[in-house]
Each structure stands twice: as C-alpha cells, then as structure tokens.
Structure 1
Amino acid sequence: MTEQTLPLCIAGQWRLGRGERYASYYPATGEPVAWLNAANVEDVNEAIEGAHQAFLHSGWAQRKPHERAAVLYRIAQLIREQAEELAQLQRQDNGKPIGETRNLVASAAGTFQFFAAACETLEETITPSRGDFVTMSVYEPMGVVAAITPWNSPIASEAQKVAPALAAGNAVVIKPAEITPLLALQLARLCEEAGLPKGLISVLPGKGSVLGDAITRHPLVKRVSFTGGTRTGKHIAHIAADKMMPVSLELGGKSPTIVLDDADLDHAVAGVLYGIFSSSGEACIAGSRLFVARALYEPFMLRLCAAAANIKVGNPADETTQMGPLISAAHRESVERYVALGLSEGGRLRLGGQRLTGDEYDKGFYYPPTILEGLSNDQRVCQEEIFGPVLIALPFDDEADLLDQANDSLYALAAGIWSRDYKRAWSLGRKIQAGTVWINTYKQFSISTPFGGWRDSGLGREKGRLGILQYMEQKSLYWGMNERPLAWASEHREVAP
C-alpha cells in the first residue's frame, strides 16, 4: 500500500473527508492497506443536502423505469468486469477468504441486475371501482435515503440497499462500517461510471456513533436501512419514531440449527459446519445453537468434531482456506471472553477454545472452530450473540422440549432443520419462530426471496421483487367520472334572489 489518503465521495465530489486520518487494516496481518480521512458532521450535512438537490434536479426520479434500469444493468456489468479486483479488495478490507469474497461480489452484481428487472417491470394498479371514479395506486421515490452497512459482508450488504433505493428513483447516502470502507467507495465509482448522475450517491466512512446518528437525525433523510447490532438498531428506531420515518433493521441473531433423529448425517454435519464456521462465524444468521436429538447426540458430535478439526484456518489469499481471521484484535478478545464465560457457567470444551499461534497466526486475528457443550439454553452464551466461530451444542428429548428451547431467545432471525421426513420438517419449520428457516441446507440466499427477522432481530424485509417498494411512497389517485356535479354541493347550494 501507499501512504496516499483516499478521497471520499461527497455530494458528487471526490475529496478528502474533514475528519481524522485513519487506516483500514488487513485482519490477516494487522497491517494497514489504505488510509483515508473520516467524514465529519459537516460532511454529512453537505452530502445529504447535495443528495437532496440531485434528487430534485438531476432528473433521475423522473426517468422512465426502463431508463433507470439500464444504469443498474450497467452497474452489474461493471461489477462483473472488475470482479477479481473487487474480491481481492474485500479480502484485504475484512479478511474473508478469497473464495467467499468472490461469491459476495457475484451476489452484488446479481442484486443490481435483479432490481434493474424489478424496476422496469414494476406495475402500478387500477383498483376496483367503488363509485363514479377511477382509482389508481402508484409508487413514487422518497428522496434521500440512508444505507448503514456492516463490516462482515460490505459489498453484498451495500448492494442490497443501494440497488433497490436507486431503482426506486432515490438518492442514497452510504455509511459503511468504519473499519471496512473500501468497497463502498469503489461501488460509488462504478455507479458514476455507469451513468448515475453526480450527487445521487455519497459515501461517508467514520464512526457510526457520530455519523450514523447525524444521518438518521437529518430532516432530509426519509428512510434508513440499517444492518448491524441490535443496540444500535434500537437507537435508530427511537430516532425514526420521533421523525415518523420508516426504517429497515436487520439486526442480531442466535439461530438454532436442529438435527432430528432421522437426519442424513452427511448432509447435517456439512450443513452445521458451514452454518457456524464459514465467515469465521461473523454472520448474523450463523447457526450458533445446535440442538441434536438425544439418542443421536454422541455419534453426531463425534463426527461433527472430527470434521471441524479439519477445517483449514489461515491466509485469506490461499484458495484452499475455509476460515480466515476475525475482523480485529478487539473482536477476537470479545470472542475469547465469551468462551471463558461459557466455561465459567459450567460448559465443557469439545473442540478449540485456544487462540491459534505460530507464524501467520501470530500476525493476524485468528481463532479456531470452537464447540462448547454441557450448558443449558438459558445461560448467557446461549442467549447472547457471540459473532464468532463458537457453537453451543445442546441435546433435546422431544419436539416440545426442542421448541421450548429453540424459540426461547430474544432473537428470531434464522433456523435450520435436518430431517429425511419432509412432512415432519415442514411442520417443525412452521412452528419455529424465525424470519428464515432452512431445511436440509443452511445459509443459502436468493435475492428473489425476502429476508429479515422478528423480535430483536429486526424490522422490515430486504430482497424480493417487492423490496423496491421499501424505498417508495404509495399514492392513491382518484379520477372523477361523474356526469353531474357532486350531489352534496348541488343540494346545499344557495339560490341567489
């Protein structure tokens, strides 16, 4: 890397932020990969006011849907043309293995393509007549919307917010996670290269507690879409309530993954491993609570632990790496504290639990696949989100016992079920409280399928063909077809002498 400071995209201009200079670090080595000046509140105001002017005067909102769609298709094409460069950049930005970052880049391209199609095929409605008038329901853009994104999958998360917001005709202000700003900046460049009018997209890296708060409170911001921690999401919701502003909140999870006594063990072992240990467990939908039928518990755990011990943890640039480092030293320490807490609560280590050391491990923030058992579902490590490669294994006796434990959580984001009996799996899937339930698979996504959580896991839904409507206001139009003036006015009209 060079010591050159990267410019930010603020109200159509690429310039240095007014905040403090800081580095983006590569989690595999702890070394800086880029320098930039954070945005400050003055930059926030300039970006939002510029976005508002661009919304009013650029003509973007007035373009025909297929014309906006053409720009989104071009963004998707540019992402694909620069896919390897973007994947390598995300690897450096947050330490994910290169195979995973390639998939995230491909997902981002698919998201822009999908919402381009959703934009140009979105239908408005002539509703059934209930009188001497024709009624219509139409959708219009909101204005300036904010996308506040997390550090664990930047380009995919940003695409899921930016693509539908732009397709709907809005201007977008992106607040990326402070420690992973590089993909959002590159995405803004691609949007401009694709023909998006200047000012319609800004990127404001920096501290979320300062910038996110200022963005959310700004009177010109008409909607916030946030992915991140539950505490921050609730804070945003309180501000939004005072503003009467809609929000989308995709928050934490403590997802149960369930192995019934008739499960295909090959599929179940592979799925449980992928559900918790891919992305180093740094995923809101990670299957972090494992419930196994008691009769199957010990043979299943033997197979699971043997397979987990063979997961390759190492250099994210290595094509064969399955788990990279955690995002930072501070986050690794948080994971370690949770493991220590689990042991203090009476848990036993079945696998892992000790920081990896030696050569490359000493440079980065690595932590191994870790499995705890001997705990009850009401203990803290079973109730609080760890956001790391830590699995809590719990046996269950029957379906009633299982449901009591699986649904006993503040979170309700996702769940997994492993069973050969599709009727049994369907019945259980309907009883599990979660926004997404995977059956005989896990952590598979489709941009065409809505995603979100219940309870402390969030509000609203992203993705899906109608996800574009999250960023639009609905308006009803009435066209009078009556031949005579409205009767009330005619009946009460005064007659001149």
Structure 2
Amino acid sequence: WRSISCFRLLASLPYMSIVGQIVPWNFPFLMAAWKLAPVLASGCCTVLKPSKTTSLSVLYFADLIKDVLPPGVFNVITGAGSKAGQYMLDHKGFCKLAFTGSTEVGLSVAKAAAEKLIPATLELGGKSANIFFADCNLEQAYDGAQLGILFNQGQVCCAGSRIFVQEDIYDEFVAELAKRFNKVKIGLPWKEDTQLGATIYKAQLDKVLSYVELAKEEGATIACGGEQATDGALKNGIFMKPTLITNATNDMRVAREEIFGPVAVVIKFKTEEEVIKMANDSDYGLGGAVWTQDINRAFRVASSIETGRVWVNTYNQIPEGSPFGGYKQSGIGRETHKVILEHYTQMKNILINLSGQPSGFYSQK
C-alpha cells in the first residue's frame, strides 16, 4: 500500500477493474471499510485516498489487512486533495470513482467522472430534518435530539441539524433541551466520562463559531452554547459547546448550510403538511427523523420527506446491510447494502446459438 507504486499498477491490471476512492476525515477507518467492501465483493481493485488530516487511521487499516489481500488489490495514497486527490481525478486508468465528503468537492468528482464517461458514487453533505410532533415521547425525544446533533461533535453528514418542533410543545422542548445541552460533559477524548470531544482542527472550529455569529446577524437567538469551551484542560484545545439556535426560520443561512459542528437550529411548526414542506425545502436530502406515537403519521411523513434515510423515534442508528445515501445535493448511490454492487459492476449479455444451424436470414438455397 505504499504510494510510490500505486499508479504503476494501473497499467498492469485488466481494464474495468480499478476504482479510485476518496474518503473524509470524520470517520476515516469506517469509511475505508465501507469503500473496500464492494471492491472486494465485485472483484475489483482500488486506489484509496484518505483525508490529509486523518491518513494514519487508513494506513493502519491497510497494515492490518496487508497479509490478507493479494498485492495490488488495496492501495492507499496520501496527500492533499488539491494534489494527490486531483491527480486521481485526472488519471485515465480508473473505471469508476467513489467519494464521501463535501458537496463542493463531490461536484468536482462528478465532473471528472463525466468527462471520462465513467460512473461515480457520491455520499455528500446534509442538513437533515429532525421532526418532533407534540405526541412524541419527550424523554425519548430529548435523547434523540442530542444524539442527532452531538454525535461525533456534530461532524456527521447526516446530523439532525434542523430540529423542527410542533408549536404545542415548542417552549417546553427548547427549555429542557437547552438545559440538557448545558449538562453535556465536554472533555478529553481518552476520559471515560467525556460525552463531547474536540472538533477536528481549528479552522473547522472557527467556521462553526462564524455560523453562530451569522445566526445572531440573521435575527436568531442562541439558547445555549455558542462559544468555545475553555475550562480547565480544555483551554488549549478546540472544543465547541453544544449550541441551540432558536427563533430561527427555514430560510436563514444557518438553517440551509451545513455547519458540521455541535450546532442545531430549532424551528417551530404547526401542521404535518407545513413541516413536510419545510423539511423538503433544502438542497440536501441525506438523513432525518420523525418522532411521534402515531405510526400512520410516522409512515406518512417518512415517505414524504425527500431524503435517503428516515429514522422513526431514533437517530443515527446505522445497522449493517441497510442502504445509506442521499437525494439531491447529498449524493448519488447507496452504500452498506448489496445494491452498491450495481455501481461496481457492469451488466453484459452473452447470447449463444446452441442449435448448430445458421440463423437462416442469409441462407442460400
């Protein structure tokens, strides 16, 4: 898996067998496994590039399996996306591209694939709707709202970053959720009692903080958090306090753009029809959830939301074998399900004449 020889192997392997794959920094080890599985199942080989900020996880993954796979099947290169990543997009030896990451970069991957007339699967950004109806189990709902946006410090593409709350329970819900956000244990990642760790790097923290300021400029209110955590051992780190933005509307930038941090906007709604319309009024469609004790309502809303995955009375549960992928700007294709093999294979038709006789169309008599 050494990068020095990765692209040399492209010239020696059969055509239509090599896939170029790029994975992000937020789940590097997991994403590498997700990407490798269909490669092996379909009999392909891959050159995979991790994010420059989390390369060690993928290199360790490659080291774990180096004696399991034949040489040349799984190859890892490292480097900046603007250099190593672009080299992959420009290379003519790939038969398919696969990418997980931002929508902005995903568009570049799609363009590179289109210019070569090769397929691409893309798992991109999100601004998922986490919808709470008045009849929901509140204790279950508070837990689900936190899991939806605080899991992995909110650095999750399918994070429930738009929290829609029915007006009958809005005030109670926001007050209690803010109280619980303030009690979340922010700490060092190796501490057993830590519930929320650090953001990936300072530039990302600065981006998250800039969205808090933007929310204020747009007329929203910061119900809790909204600033960097600097107490005790955290003072030299890059920790963001869990943040709820209230008095928000669905047309605000903080409700439309992916923040990628432990920050959620809370939006009030009246009716089922209204919240479906607002949930779908987004460029993204990756995840989402419905919280209600009415199973008919759950099915109606879940079926109506334009998104690749909808949880009911839970969030961020990702069982093996369930398809994962998005609508609209959230990408193309579904991973972690057998349907992904359709993107790593091509259908061929072979027709055999077993009669021993000519077709008869041009037969001479």
TM-score, with length taken from structure 2: 0.97
Residues 272 and 177 from structure 1, CA distance in 2 versus in 1: closer, same or farther, beyond 3 angstroms?
same
Instruction: Determine which of 43, 46, 49 is the counterpart of 2:8.
Output: 49
Supply the distance in 2 between the matched residues of 1:235 and 1:178 (Cα, whole angstroms): 18
Supply the distance in 2 between the matched residues of 1:454 and 1:466 (Cα, whole angstroms): 16
1:54-453 equivalences under 5 Å are 55-56=13-14, 142-194=16-68, 196-453=69-326
Query: Which has the larger displacement, 203-212 or 288-297?
Result: 203-212
Amino acid at match of 2:276: L
Amino acid at match of 1:308: F
Deviation track 1:93-151 (CA, whole Å, cap 9, x = no partner) reads: xxxxxxxxxxxxxxxxxxxxxxxxxxxxxxxxxxxxxxxxxxxxxxxx93111120000
Supply the distance in 2 between the matched residues of 1:52 and 1:432 (Cα, whole angstroms): 45
* 2:327 paired residue number: 454
Deviation at 1:52, TM superposition (A): 4.7
Deviation at 1:368, TM superposition (A): 0.7
> What secondary structure does 1:211 align onto?
helix
Deviation at 1:9, TM superposition (A): 1.8
Amino acid at match of 1:171: C
Say if 1:51 and 1:173, in contact at 8 Å, map to a contact too.
Answer: no
Supply the distance in 2 between the matched residues of 1:397 and 1:147 (Cα, whole angstroms): 44
Identical columns (%): 36
Supply the distance in 2 between the matched residues of 1:407 and 1:448 (Cα, whole angstroms): 26
Supply the distance in 2 between the matched residues of 1:456 and 1:209 (Cα, whole angstroms): 22
Amino acid at match of 1:395: K
Say if 2:10 and 2:93, in contact at 8 Å, map to a contact too.
Answer: no
2:7 equivalent to 1:9: no
Say if 2:228 and 2:240, in contact at 8 Å, map to a contact too.
Answer: yes
Supply the distance in 1 between the matched residues of 2:294 and 2:288 (Cα, whole angstroms): 17
> What secondary structure does 2:241 align onto?
coil
Supply the distance in 2 between the matched residues of 1:482 and 1:442 (Cα, whole angstroms): 59
Residues 52 and 155 from structure 1, CA distance in 2 versus in 1: closer, same or farther, beyond 3 angstroms?
farther
Query: Which has the larger displacement, 286-295 or 396-405?
Result: 396-405
Gaps of 5+ in 1: 1-7, 11-42, 57-140
Supply the distance in 1 between the matched residues of 2:340 and 2:333 (Cα, whole angstroms): 10
Structure 1 segments of 4+ aligned residues over 3 angstroms from their partners: none
**Normalized per residue, which structure has more strand?**
1
Q: CA RMSD, aligned part only? A: 1.4
Supply the distance in 2 between the matched residues of 1:328 and 1:222 (Cα, whole angstroms): 34
Amino acid at match of 2:50: P
> What secondary structure does 1:333 align onto?
helix
Amino acid at match of 1:152: N
Deviation at 1:173, TM superposition (A): 0.7
Deviation at 1:468, TM superposition (A): 2.8
Supply the distance in 2 between the matched residues of 1:358 and 1:258 (Cα, whole angstroms): 33
Say if 2:158 and 2:286, in contact at 8 Å, map to a contact too.
Answer: yes
> What secondary structure does 1:221 align onto?
coil
Supply the distance in 2 between the matched residues of 1:446 and 1:290 (Cα, whole angstroms): 23
Deviation at 1:489, TM superposition (A): 2.1
Deviation at 1:467, TM superposition (A): 2.3
* 1:475 paired residue number: 348
Supply the distance in 2 between the matched residues of 1:357 and 1:309 (Cα, whole angstroms): 14
Deviation track 1:409-440 (CA, whole Å, cap 9, x = no partner) reads: 00011111000011110011101110000001
* Rg larger in structure: 1
Deviation track 1:180-225 (CA, whole Å, cap 9, x = no partner) reads: 001111111122122x111222211111122112112211111111
Deviation at 1:469, TM superposition (A): 3.2
Deviation at 1:484, TM superposition (A): 2.4
Say if 1:260 and 1:418, in contact at 8 Å, map to a contact too.
Answer: yes
Amino acid at match of 1:9: R
* 1:109 paired residue number: none
Say if 1:51 and 1:171, in contact at 8 Å, map to a contact too.
Answer: no
Supply the distance in 2 between the matched residues of 1:485 and 1:222 (Cα, whole angstroms): 37
Say if 1:289 and 1:394, in contact at 8 Å, map to a contact too.
Answer: yes
Deviation track 1:236-291 (CA, whole Å, cap 9, x = no partner) reads: 11111110010010000000000011100011110110010111000000000000
Amino acid at match of 2:157: C
Gaps of 5+ in 2: none
> What secondary structure does 1:475 align onto?
coil
Amino acid at match of 1:144: I
Say if 1:326 and 1:332, in contact at 8 Å, map to a contact too.
Answer: yes
Supply the distance in 1 between the matched residues of 2:343 and 2:320 (Cα, whole angstroms): 15
Say if 1:172 and 1:200, in contact at 8 Å, map to a contact too.
Answer: yes
